[in-house]
Amino acid sequence: MSTTTEQIWRHLAKASFAVVSHVTPDGEPRSSGVVYTVLDRRMFVVVAADSWKARHIATSGRVAVTVPVPVRRGGIMSLVFPIPPATISCHASAVVHAPDSPDGERVLAQLGRLLMRMRDPVLARGRVPVA
């Protein structure tokens, strides 16, 4: 059985967290978790207008997106042999919209509650070194 485009869009519409990957102007790879919503079969990712994500994504206009899918896989055997979670992954063209643009306002209205937690810049831009 193959997955249909409609099923993918339904899964995307139910979720709100994704990992967006892009390349910096210097060619360095980057990825980070973002909050998103789906409106009219378009995925809108919310980032701070003055963030490095917004600047880098606006420069290239190309991203890769991965969304974890809450589907239990593997049945009873997954208790013994861990199976990675399912994901939806794709590449896409990206456009950065200002928060006061028509699309920006629609997205902010849709995501109001989820964004309240990310309004604290310290939390939203937190980084931890990995040794």
Longest dimension (CA), the chain: 50
For 68-87, give the DSSP string. Answer: E-----SGGGGGTS--PPPE
Contacts of 58 (CB under 8 A, 6+ apart): 94, 95, 96
Window from 5-14, 57-66, 69-78 with minimum mean pLDDT: 69-78
Mean pLDDT, the chain, whole residue set? 82
CATH superfamily of 5-117: Electron Transport, Fmn-binding Protein; Chain A (2.30.110.10)
pLDDT band at 123 (very low <50, low <70, confident <90, very high): low
Q: 98 vs 124, which has greater pLDDT? A: 98
Q: Is 21 or 79 the better-scoring residue by pLDDT?
A: 21
Residue 77: which pLDDT band, with cuts at 50, 70 and 90? Answer: low
Least confident of 1-10, 37-46, 76-85, 87-96: 76-85
In whole angstroms, what is the distance from residue 123 CA to residue 31 CA? Answer: 17
User: What is the SS3 assignment for 102?
Assistant: helix
Residue 1 in tokens:
């059985």
* Res. 88: pLDDT tops 80: yes
The pLDDT value recorded for residue 22 is 93
- Label residue 23 by pLDDT band (50, 70, 90): very high
Q: Grade residue 29 by pLDDT with cuts at 50, 70 and 90.
A: very high
